[in-house]
Amino acid sequence: MNNNEFHELTHLVLDSKLHPPVALFAKGFDDWHVRARLAHFLVLPEFNKTAAAVELFRSVIEADVDENESEDIEEKVYALQHLSTVLRDAGKLDDALNYINSAIELAEEHDFLYKYILRGELWADRWNILARQRRTDLVADEVEDKIAAYGALPIKHISYLYYGYRFLAQLAAANFHAVDTIEMMKKALSYMAVPQKNMAILENIMSATDDDAPRIMREIDQATPIPSSLKWDI
């Protein structure tokens, strides 16, 4: 992509009904942050510029980050995560796995508690790709490793364990095991700072006595607050 193409795509986004702040793109094509931000917009349905977005995301892969700035690290992690998601949805599972692995590696090289990125969610993205590759035995082993590593910590809100147990619940639901689905989700939610108003709804859903595990799982997810909006210890 050349500078002219980048300029045209930037104005496509700026002139859209979304009207993002001009400051997001002020530093132009040479700044990897700007290229990543533009890519995040271009994959949206109103633009449908996936190929251009992937090209911009790929241009970020070798970019250096400020090792002392959590926001800088987080922005690159998010770009790698989003690239992985786009490729996963396009059926390019090997590439998607490679980039989510890179996102995990970068996020876990540092001890920062990020504002939006959850380490557990990154692992969940990896597990979803592995599941699509029919490697659920590997996923189960990795989830058990996370439970063994973090289950005895004297802290309560652990994203690794929320997403680990949630993945086990998803597997149970896919196999129509309602009791196991509910049991795994109760464990998952015990590691999340769920507001009381949500918890009351969730407890009602998890008191279901029917065997429709996929429906139960779907309703639990709908009643669960957005994880990135909550407080986490890790």
What's the one-letter identity of residue 197?
Answer: K
**How many of the other CB atoms lie within 10 Å of CB of 146?**
20
The model carries a pTM of 0.91
Main-chain phi, psi angles of 155, to 5 degrees: -130, 160
| Buried-exposed string 82-93: b where 16+ CB fall within 10 A, e elsewhere | bbbbbbbeeeee
DSSP state of 211: S
At 4, the pLDDT band (50, 70, 90 cuts) reads: confident
Longest alpha-carbon distance in the chain:
60
pLDDT, residue 233, reads 94
50-97 per-position pLDDT tens digit: 999 999 999 999 999 999 999 999 999 999 999 999 999 999 999 999
| Cα distance between residue 136 and residue 155, in whole Å | 28
Q: Which two tokens stand for residue 52?
A: 């251009």
Q: Which two tokens stand for residue 199?
A: 């918890």
Contact 47, 87 (CB under 8 A): no
Contact 106, 128 (CB under 8 A): no
What's the one-letter identity of residue 209?
Answer: T
Is 208 a residue whose pLDDT tops 90? Answer: no
Which H, E and C letters describe 91-137, residue by residue? CCHHHHHHHHHHHHHHHHCCCCCCCCCCHHHHHHHHHHHHHHCCCHH
| Cα distance between residue 233 and residue 192, in whole Å | 10
pLDDT, residue 111, reads 87
